[in-house]
Amino acid sequence: MKRHDLVILTGKQRPFLNDLWLQVREKLRGEERRYGGHRGVTRSLVEGLQQISGVDWLYARRYGRLRAKTVHAVADARSVRTGIAAKRNGLCDRLIVGPNIVVRAFEEDSVLASPEIDMVLVPSRWVKAAYEADEPRLIGRIAVWPAGVDADHWAPTGGPRRTVLLYEKRQPEAAEDAAEVVRSAGFEPVTIRYGHYQPEEFKRALDHAIVCVVVGQSESQGLALAEAWSMDVPTFVRRFDVIPEEGTPCSAAPYLTPSTGAFWSSNDDLKRLLASGTDAYAPRDWVLANNTDSHAAQALLQIAFPQGTKAQTQAA
């Protein structure tokens, strides 16, 4: 039986014929490949790995018996338990899990603290701190790993930009307050609401936007923000530092930098940011240097193979 360098798991195993029929239906309908778990995270990993040669990896919705140097359970507690069984049975040397398994580290009977797991992945530093507070057995066993962006797809056309995009995530009243500030600055905001748009709709809106004003709560990573940056649109993000019902320190934009945008806390802050313009920002340059699919895949391989793969050793 073949032993892969890396096997990626994202959920429930499928019988062979079930998976084969699903693949045929997708091809006949001209559909994009379906990715398990959080689609954006799994897609970034798989398509990033496709850009790297010399690594024998497998992502399939039908797993069968696993033999791998490293198993990576990306999403779903069922895939974690599949990986744990593989580790116990000697079918893999290393097991890494995350970042889309649970919201709180103690969920699913604290499966993340299972001794078979070598490393738990989380998308940002504040999530790492929250997991360690929830489950102290994870201290020293967590790595921060953000997914990347398809920068070829999320690329501006170079057309005129005249609008201010308002991205609202479960904060309609606060978003309406922000919309009034945008109007007072001389713009009619174009609103995109989390969970109520298609990716191409978001992309078109970004392509016409000077800036994106973001009103939400906590973000474990903020892939939508990264997509905006890849479209060369800076983000002005309403600050959100603590989850009220939990008292947990958090962030509304863990990867916001002086190159990609700025935080605001009050209407006056937002007015000043809108008045200052966007010449000081270079969000797409930041993505190309730090946050593409290739960056994500390379970072994952460093975690999956701390001693390096054969290809990495030869390249060095």
* pLDDT single digits (tens) 186-200: 998 999 999 999 999
CA angle 95, 100, 103 (to 5 degrees): 115
pLDDT attached to residue 133 = 97
Could you give the CA distance from residue 22 to residue 18 in angstroms, rounded to a whole number? 6
The reported pTM is 0.92
Is the sign of the CA dihedral 290, 169, 126, 212 positive or negative? positive
pLDDT attached to residue 98 = 98
Decide if pLDDT at 54 tops 60: yes
Instruction: State phi, psi for 263 to the nearest 5 degrees.
Output: -90, 155
pLDDT attached to residue 29 = 73
CA angle 11, 68, 19 (to 5 degrees): 40
Strands (E), 161-311: 163-168, 190-193, 209-215, 235-238, 242-243, 248-249, 261-264
Decide if pLDDT at 116 tops 50: yes
Q: What mean pLDDT comes out for the span 292-313?
A: 86
| Long-range interactions of 126-130: CB distance < 8 A, separation 24+ | 126/218, 126/249, 126/250, 126/251, 126/254, 127/99, 127/220, 129/249, 130/104, 130/105, 130/248, 130/249, 130/250
Decide if pLDDT at 106 tops 70: yes
pLDDT attached to residue 316 = 38
Contact 70, 305 (CB under 8 A): yes
pLDDT in tens, 136-151: 999 999 999 999 999 9
283 to each of 142, 213, 259, 262, 278, how far by Cα in Å? Answer: 28, 14, 6, 11, 10
Decide if pLDDT at 95 tops 70: yes
Of 176 and 37, more confident:
176
Decide if pLDDT at 64 tops 70: no
pLDDT attached to residue 15 = 58
Could you give the CA distance from residue 304 to residue 316 in angstroms, rounded to a whole number? 17
